[in-house]
Amino acid sequence: MGIGVRNYPFVMSIQLNNLTLTYERHPAVHHVTATIGQGDWLAVVGPNGAGKSTLLNAMAGLTTIDDGSIEGLSPNTVAYLPQQTQLDRCFPITVFELVVTGLWAKLGFFESLNKSQYEQCGDAISAVGLQGFERRMINTLSGGQLQRSLFARVLLQDQPVILLDEPFNAIDTKTLADLTQLIKQWHQHKRTVIMVTHDLDYIQEHCPQTLLLARDCIGYGATKEILTRENLEKARQHFEAFDKRANSCVQGAA
Ligand code: ADP
Ligand code: MG
């Protein structure tokens, strides 16, 4: 069996309970409640600034929770592919070194790789079609090649829950198809995949569940019921109205 494709036998759902996340008391995610089943392939969709990345950061254990809770997750059950805007591409590391960071949780920062771990890194790099690129600096990669490297890192992390923040931004159609095959394998092997994307056609075709976010949860459930024109318009209007309310509060308080 290939790397990162074994089944997870235990049942684990993720609960978002009335979850609120803020920056300087300004809510970015507001009272969101949802139960995400093991093996779901969930799209998180919403306007720019709707709180999608903030939500994934919190699920990865990287932000503090202001109110409510997240249950069924811990940092050592989650593999996280952050949005490319959150990455410093100038950081002077090679593809191999980037991919190896997927083993840090198991390895510890200063431990060196044993032979089998070294092979696992090679296998992950091959699985995303980047063999021969191991020594390339990441700042010389195309958008698609960088995204493939980040998927290789997720493969190595080998976790039951996979968070992908806009994984298909600025990539070519071949990379999109190849990476979609990887996600399909994870899905078939009952990993939980939670993916932020703006591509509604992609969601309709691939993602059975959708969470429509505009700070508040506008809809959560089966994609065909949630991803309607009416709901998308509702999300847009809700988001704009929330901003106006927030502004008038600030002005009122001044
Ligand atoms: P999305 O991913 O849906 O585009 P984000 O989660 O990145 O949205 O951002 C949600 C809101 O939180 C936005 O108004 C954004 O400006 C704000 N925000 C995000 N990160 C920070 C931060 N580090 N400090 C302050 N505000 C932030
Ligand atoms: Mg984002």
Is a pLDDT exceeding 50 seen at residue 244?
Answer: yes
Q: What is residue 106's predicted lDDT score, i.e. its pLDDT? A: 74
| CB of 54 sitting under 6 A from ligand 1 | yes
Is a pLDDT exceeding 60 seen at residue 249?
Answer: no
Per-residue pLDDT of 23-50, as tens digits, reads: 998 999 999 999 999 999 999 999 999 9
Pick the ligand that lies closest to the CA of residue 26.
1
Per-residue pLDDT of 135-167, as tens digits, reads: 999 999 998 999 999 999 999 999 999 999 999
Per-residue pLDDT of 94-120, as tens digits, reads: 999 999 988 877 776 666 788 888 899
Q: Where are the domains of the chain?
A: 14-241
pLDDT average, residue stretch 125-131:
94
Going by alpha carbons, the residue nearest to atom 20 of ligand 1 is 54
Q: What is residue 178's predicted lDDT score, i.e. its pLDDT? A: 93
Ligand 1 atom at shortest distance from the alpha carbon of 50: 3
pTM of the model: 0.90
- Tell me which long-range contacts 71-78 makes (C-beta under 8 A, separation of at least 24): 71/14, 71/15, 71/17, 72/12, 72/13, 72/14, 72/15, 73/14, 73/161, 75/105, 76/105, 76/159, 77/12, 77/159, 77/160, 77/161, 78/159, 78/161, 78/162, 78/163
| CB of 221 sitting under 6 A from ligand 1 | no
Going by alpha carbons, the residue nearest to atom 13 of ligand 1 is 49
Average pLDDT over the chain, rounded to whole?
89
Among the four given CATH numbers 3.40.109.10, 3.40.50.2300, 2.40.50.100, 3.40.50.300, the one describing domain 14-241: 3.40.50.300
